[in-house]
Structure 1
Amino acid sequence: MCTSLTYQTSGGDQFLARTMDFGFELGGRPVVIPRQHHFTSVTNATGFDAPYSFAGTGRDLNGYILVDGVNEYGVSAAALYFAGQAHYAAEPVEGQINLAPHEVVMWILGNVKSTAELSQRLADLTITESAAPLLNIVVPLHWIISDRQGETFVLEQEADGMHYMKNPVGVMTNSPDFDWHLKNLSNYVELQPMPHTASRQYGDLTVNAFGPGTGALGMPGDYTSPSRFIRTVFNREHTETVDTDAAAVNTLSHMLNSVEIPKGVKVKADGSDDYTQYRAYMSMNEPAFYMQPYNDQTITRVALTEAVMTADTPTEYALAGQQQFKAVN
């Protein structure tokens, strides 16, 4: 279970941020994939190439797997859980680019320069029922993709086919499907940052609001996907706009505070608990990747420099440091 949102600074710089909420320890670190990297695939022996460099959260499992990131052209993407609704092809299709669900982010970041280009290339993709290493299951996923021009889309594959939808609110969580979440916003039109000041008469009693904050009365506070979607849309709409990239990461961190899941408060039926293992912030204009782990709130920054983009092999970074931003250039 995860939450994602986009954000724009007053100067027009674009960001995509996400929480990674999961029970199984994923063990990801910041990784830069260089240009012309070749990925193996669990769907076929050929694999696929990534002409463009990108940075994101990854782990080397006999080949790197990344679940979010930003590429050298400012395209950013994140994979989020889509349980109960994701539906994939049973077998690879000859003549298509066949990808397992956990490989989609790597292909997008390694191959497209904009969300518009991705739209043109989706007809060539087939997402198959192929299990992910480590988890050993077919991971039900959907994806949020954004670019340097501020265009943001959601990609979902269900039983009726692939859907590539404009995201007008810049937020995505988990199941149900994205269109359902947009419709559900109609249940919360009363939310506002200003207090409700009108009094109400109940018999002979005049009732007045207690004060500031009453504008958000009725906003759901639980950790379900629909509730996290509503809170994040509200916060994204009304949180202040800042003018620097560092301030944007700080602002996004505060917004994600409202949906971060501490260990122990969201227990699943099998007794395990989901929690926010990390937060990621993808700066599309720099471009740079920021990661903030659960056990150490230090934010590690990795920039896409020419040196790492042209390296012979992927570059992996440890999460450590005491300062607010530990820059890796």
Structure 2
Amino acid sequence: MCTSLTFQTTGGDQFLARTMDFGFELGGRPVVMPRQQHFSSVTTAAEFDTPYSFVGTGRNLNGYIFVDGVNEYGVSAAALYFSGQAHYPTEPVAGKLNLAPHEVLMWLLGNVKSAQELGDRLNEIAIVEAAAPLLNIVVPLHWIISDRSGATYVLEQEADGMHYMVNPVGVMTNTPDFNWHLKNLSNYLQLQPGPHVDRQYGDLTVKPFGPGTGAMGMPGDYTSPSRFVRTVFMRQYTDAVATDAEAVNALSHLLNSVEIPKGVKLQADGSSDYTQYRAYMSMHEPAFYIQPYADQTITRVGLTPELMVASQPTEFPLAPAQQFNRVN
């Protein structure tokens, strides 16, 4: 279960951020995939190339798997869980590039220059049932995609086919489907950043207790609908910022409201679903920032010209958790 959102500076620079909430330890780290890489799909004997370079959270499992990232043209994307509603064909589709759900993000980042181009090329691919390494399951996913222009979309595949939808609020979480989340916002029209006005009941004037009362009723739990509403509200009213550093800082605070500490959200088997990391993708630089659970230090990896033409992928292992700087 994860939360994602877009954010824009006053200068128009675009960011996509996400939490990675999962019970199984994924072990991802920043990886730069250089241009002109070749991938084999686990679905069939199909293969695909990625002419464009990208950077994101990856892991080499006899072949790299990415779950988020940004490419050299500023296209950014993140894969989020879509349990119970994702639906994929069980057999490869003739005439298409057949991809497993966990392979879509690599093809996307390696092949398109804009969110619009992705929409134009979706007829080239079929997302089919095939298990992901390490997890050994067909991972139910949907995707949020954004680019330097600010255009933001959601890609979902359900029983009635593939849907590529404009995302007007710049937020995505998990199940139910995206359109359900948009309709659910109608239940929270009373939310506002300022206090509510005094109310008169008979001869009694009822006053709000103080600042913050405008957000009374905002859901605070960790379910997908609640995280969606909370993030839409926070994103809408957070102060505008001018610089990249301020944007990453603002996004870190925004995601604080949905970060899941270990132990407070347990799965049926008793394992803890928690926020393993937060990622911030700068589309104009382009650059990738990661903030792991065990160490709140933010690590930045930029897509430099040297990394984009390297002979092989470049990994950036995260440093072990830092100790407190004691001053007394």
Q: How does 1:90-129 map to 2 (within 5 A)?
A: 90-129=90-129
Q: Which residue of 2 aligns with 1:276?
A: 275
For structure 1, the 5+ residue unaligned runs are 324-329
Q: How does 1:247-286 map to 2 (within 5 A)?
A: 247-286=246-285
Distance 2:198 2:43 in 1: 61
Distance 1:218 1:232 in 2: 14
Q: Which residue of 1 aligns with 2:223?
A: 224
How far does residue 88 in structure 1 lie from its aligned partner after superposition? 0.4
The aligned amino acid for 2:232 is V
* Contact 2:93/2:126 (<8 A) preserved: yes
* Contact 1:298/1:320 (<8 A) preserved: no
Distance 1:300 1:320 in 2: 9
Distance 2:69 2:185 in 1: 28
What TM-score do you get using the length of structure 2 for normalisation?
0.96
Q: Indicate the percent of aligned positions where both proteins have the same amino acid.
A: 77
Distance 1:89 1:113 in 2: 27
Q: How does 1:236-315 map to 2 (within 5 A)?
A: 236-315=235-314
How far does residue 205 in structure 1 lie from its aligned partner after superposition? 4.4
Q: Which residue of 2 aligns with 1:184?
A: 184
1:47 corresponds to 2:55: no
Q: Which residue of 1 aligns with 2:78?
A: 78
171-180 or 94-103, which moves further after superposition?
94-103
Distance 1:28 1:45 in 2: 26
The aligned amino acid for 1:159 is A
The root-mean-square deviation of aligned C-alpha atoms, in Å, is 1.2
1:12 corresponds to 2:27: no
Q: Which residue of 2 aligns with 1:327?
A: none
Q: Which residue of 1 aligns with 2:146?
A: 146
For structure 2, the 5+ residue unaligned runs are 323-328
Distance 2:319 2:291 in 1: 10
Distance 1:126 1:321 in 2: 40
The aligned amino acid for 2:271 is S
Structure 2 SS opposite 1:313? coil
Structure 2 SS opposite 1:25? coil
How far does residue 204 in structure 1 lie from its aligned partner after superposition? 5.6
Distance 2:304 2:207 in 1: 57
How far does residue 322 in structure 1 lie from its aligned partner after superposition? 8.8
1:172 corresponds to 2:172: yes
How far does residue 273 in structure 1 lie from its aligned partner after superposition? 1.4
How far does residue 269 in structure 1 lie from its aligned partner after superposition? 1.3
1:157 corresponds to 2:150: no
Distance 1:218 1:94 in 2: 50
Structure 1 SS opposite 2:3? strand
Q: Which residue of 2 aligns with 1:2?
A: 2
Structure 2 SS opposite 1:2? coil
* Contact 2:198/2:205 (<8 A) preserved: no
What TM-score do you get using the length of structure 1 for normalisation?
0.96
Write the deviation string for residues 278-321 of structure 1: whole angstroms up to 9, x where unpaired.
00000000000000000000100000001000001000001128
Structure 1 SS opposite 2:142? strand
Distance 1:27 1:195 in 2: 43
| Structure-2 change in CA distance of 1:322 and 1:245 (3 Å) | farther
Distance 2:183 2:4 in 1: 18
* Contact 2:248/2:280 (<8 A) preserved: yes
Write the deviation string for residues 218-246 of structure 1: whole angstroms up to 9, x where unpaired.
00000000000000000000001111111
| Structure-2 change in CA distance of 1:279 and 1:127 (3 Å) | same
